[in-house]
Amino acid sequence: MSYLVLARKYRPTDFSQVSGQEQVTRTLANGIKRNKIAHAFLFCGPRGVGKTSVARILSKALNCKDGPTPNPCCKCTNCREITEGSSLAVREIDGASHNSVDNVRDLIDSFRALPAPGYRYKVYIIDEVHMLSMSAFNALLKSLEEPPPHTVFILATTEVHKIPETVISRCQQHIFRALAVDSIITRLGFIAEKEKLKVEEGVLRMIANQADGSMRDAQSLLDKVQLFCDKNISVVEASRLLGAADKSKLFLLSEAILNKNARQSLEIVASCFETGIDTSLFLKDFVSHWRELLLSQIGGEALLLDTGVSKDHAERMGVQVKEVSKVRLQRLVQIAREGADSALRSNFPKYALEALVVRMALFDDLSEGKASSPSPQRGLNQSSTTQAGSLAIKKGEPQSAGITLGQKNIKEEKIQNRNLEKQEGENSYDFNSFVHFVSEQGARFIYEHLKRVAVVEFSNMLLHLKGSEFSINYLMRDAEKANVISLLEAYSNVKGWSVKFEIGPKKAGEDEGSILHIEKMKAQRQKEAKCQDISSHPKIQSLRKMFPGSEIENIKIKET
């Protein structure tokens, strides 16, 4: 068969052609230059990143007629035979099918023989070495530690954690990384040019994203796409074949969500499924898109360009998130990530995806956190329903009497506090309402510390807080201060807020005038009022008359 797939046709033949693995190729090349060649190598990393290719290149570098050299000629007989896989000096072994101790013993017997004429080294490449049995590993240990001088082992694996430590310690380990999107795009562009393919902008990035760091997967996808589209490869046709989401659809979907248009969001998702997209791939692209929107808001266009996003997409993302608060976007990214994880595990991923985009579109300042976040207003404005418990009445020897009282409405005292009251004037804000807003945004730690500090001023675009050193130091952190300002902007719909912090005399706990302090004082007053009502209850007075000189020692109130 004369046709070679792209992954084989454009397999690297020297170290300079290996993409994205400089940490490996440079180390090996320098070792050959300085004649410091290890007797055993362990190449580990994900699939399709160049482990076997580098093993073959290393074999050529050691056995080239001009070698040992880091730049094999690829023209001599030795190099050609190794490239074609017909060399007697280089033996490639599949660990999955040669995993028994007998296979390893046969291998050990072959170590004694010298290399074929014209070769310097016998090279044994064992692919997927983690598939060997423990007995096979043990049989190989001695040879790995002290092999014949003309023998080199190259072990390759995708699951290094399955290899015994005794084997790893006898090898020079090299870690192959998953390839960056830009590295894959560069290599695919080179191949497309050589194959004279007309590729529309965005296709190579779509393939690179779907390859998930594997060059071999990317080349296989390009091979499939070129057969489907012939010589002119468009984004639309490639999307149909690969089941990937068109980037323009993702922009439309995120715009609809940010505009809180649930109906339009569902229509866009439906139109995506009409093109035959794969749900799992769409969810992955969807989460990646929201991550890029967050990066755009935090670091701007420059940060997105550094991560491999095209310039026009980076500009469009900047425009899309310009008017979105940081807190809201962070929550939407969190919802997208958690929802995508749930949808991928669901038996009905499409329905889960539709529910996810609706939830994101309907998300607003009051739509999240009510069930899980405590409400300061609820703590200040609602009284606990209490029921009298037991009393201990003493006369001579202590006696106890249990009395059940009917529920009695206690008139709630009106809390007067200048820090929490609604201030007069259009430039003033209610701090209690703001803290309630923070709790509903899911900013749990900021909410807990805001409850423990007192507000000195909350007007004219200034929030002045005073509290314990513990809470103030937390809120003064750069990241937390920025989050407080973002929350203020989201709460007031006005930008330009500043925050001032002041450490009060207390070292820990809540400051006087804080929400938490007022809640505790209110609870204490309610308890005292309840105890007074119980003490003056007719039944209690009747009991005390029955036991002259008795006193109420303790009152326990059971909250319901």
Pairing mode, if any, of strands 454-459 and 462-467?
A: antiparallel
> Where are the strands (E) in 20-94, listed by range?
40-44, 90-94
The pLDDT value recorded for residue 422 is 38
Q: Which range, of 125-139, 330-344, 362-376, averages the lowest pLDDT? A: 362-376
**What is the pTM assigned to this prediction?**
0.58
Q: What is the CATH number of domain 373-409+419-560?
A: 3.30.300.180
Alpha-carbon dihedral sign for residues 24, 30, 33, 38: negative
Residue 378: C-alpha distances to residues 247, 365, 435 (Å)? 45, 17, 12
Tell me if residue 443 falls in helix, strand or coil.
Answer: coil
Q: Is the pLDDT of residue 420 over 70?
A: no
Q: Is the pLDDT of residue 512 over 90?
A: no
Residue 231: C-alpha distances to residues 2, 217, 239, 376, 523 (Å)? 20, 20, 16, 65, 77
The mean pLDDT value of the chain amounts to 80
More confident residue, 375 or 252: 252
Domain 181-242 has CATH 3.90.1170.40: no
The pLDDT value recorded for residue 231 is 78
Q: What is the pLDDT of residues 235-267, one digit of tens each?
A: 888 887 887 777 788 889 999 999 889 999 999
Contacts of 438 (CB under 8 A, 6+ apart): 446, 447, 450, 487, 491
The pLDDT value recorded for residue 209 is 82
Which string of DSSP letters, residue by residue, matches 7-31?
HHHT---SGGG--S-HHHHHHHHHH
The token pair at 512 is 């006087």
Averaged pLDDT, 193-218: 88
> Where are the strands (E) in 259-317, listed by range?
none
Q: Which of 435, 449, 445, 455 is nearest to 508 (CA)?
A: 449
Q: Is the pLDDT of residue 405 over 70?
A: no
Q: Is the pLDDT of residue 408 over 50?
A: no
Q: CATH classification of 6-175, choosing from 2.160.10.10, 3.40.50.300, 2.40.30.10, 3.30.110.40? A: 3.40.50.300
Eight-class DSSP state of 131 = G
Q: What is the CATH number of domain 247-362?
A: 1.20.272.10
The token pair at 400 is 């106890």
Domain boundaries, the chain: 6-175, 181-242, 247-362, 373-409+419-560
Q: Is the pLDDT of residue 423 over 70?
A: no
